[in-house]
Amino acid sequence: MNKIRNILLLTFVCGLFACDNSQVKDTQESIANPTNKVMSVFEVEWEQLNPARGDKSPQAGTLWGDRKGEVATGFLVKFVDGFSSPPHIHNVTYRGMVINGLIHNDDPKAENMWMPKGSFWTQPAGEAHITSAKGDNNVAYIEIDSGPYLVMPTEEAFDKGERPVNVDASNIVWVNQSKKSTSKKVPKVAYLWGNPQGNDLRGNLAKLPSGYKGKINSKGSIFYAVLIQGQLDYQMPNDANIKTLAPGSYFSSEGKSVHQISCKAGEDCIIYIRTNGKFDAT
């Protein structure tokens, strides 16, 4: 069955972001023992995603976790222009974000529908599909809730009752962080998956306007942020050095945290955020 296409995402503000500054004063204070981590995409170590295919295999680079272990993991996948996989399945469900190039992911018999950067898709465990790529530099972020992440033949296909979703970047609906502002120059948010309430795990997108300088304050015990679009300057706590991040880079923390960032002029910055608590941009 062809995947559901062009789905308008549900969005919300207060479930993810604080609606005014009075709600986040306690997160703006100095953190005594910061747990912040940051990795540039240029530090990623690449290896074959599917060694059985040899040189035809895409390249994979782990950002956090261990895709060969039994833990939640986020990793990058890099495809050559014209890549097309044979029909296959995975033992676990994954989520994907296109960072660069064009990606097609669907039933083996489906016509190509190319997803540009900023697009989101899900691939249920056990469902037969193919993945293709087009462009000089094709990169996607892949995320699993548990591993290991395996590539398996379609003869072992199974149905867990999950259904795939493809969302083109043009169909993502953004809303302002603050209900009081209608400006195009304020941070925006979009909801992707999970329960937005309480301490449940969920995935969101945050859009910071070009030239933005400020902080992302997180209250969750889990916080992983992957840069999808734009250029970010990131400053570690208690460190004057600035690290410039390109798409595919990530930063993270555990517990209440503050991330000091700047979005360089020229392009809005889009960040994929996996968390189990509220966060806000100030």
The model's pLDDT over 3-29, given as tens digits with 9 standing for 90+, comes to: 444 443 433 334 444 433 334 344 445
Do the domain assignments include residue 1? no
**In 3-state terms, what secondary structure has residue 211?**
coil
Q: If you average pLDDT over residues 163-168, what whole number do you get?
A: 96
User: Rounded mean pLDDT of the chain?
Assistant: 88
If asked whether residues 134 and 216 sit together in one domain, one would say no
State how far the Cα of 40 lies from the Cα of 116, in Å rounded to an integer.
Answer: 22
pLDDT of 207 reads 97
CB 125 within 8 A of CB 162: yes
The residue to which tokens 């782990």 are assigned: 62
The pLDDT assigned to 29 comes to: 52
Work out the average pLDDT over 216-221.
Answer: 94
- Residue where one domain finishes, among candidates 136, 168, 200: 168
The mean per-residue pLDDT over the stretch 240-269 comes to 96
CA-to-CA distance for 220 and 64, rounded, in angstroms? 17
Q: What is the CATH number of the domain that holds 117?
A: 2.60.120.10
DSSP state of 86: P
* pLDDT over threshold 60, residue 92: yes
Q: What is the mean pLDDT of residues 100-107?
A: 97
3 found inside a domain: no
**CB of 204 within 8 A of CB of 177?**
no
Q: Is residue 122 part of a domain?
A: yes
59 vs 282, residue with greater confidence: 59
User: pLDDT value at position 178?
Assistant: 61
Structural domain count of the chain: 2
Instruction: Please tell me the pTM assigned to this model.
Output: 0.89
- What is the model's pLDDT at position 181? 53
Structural domain of residue 221, as residue ranges? 21-40+171-281
| pLDDT greater than 50 at residue 208 | yes
Q: Are residues 57 and 160 in the same domain?
A: yes
Closest by CA position to 194, among listed 108, 81, 276: 276
Alpha-carbon distance of 249 to 266, in angstroms, equals: 18
Domain identity same for 143 and 59: yes
pLDDT single digits (tens) 129-157: 999 999 999 999 999 999 999 999 999 99
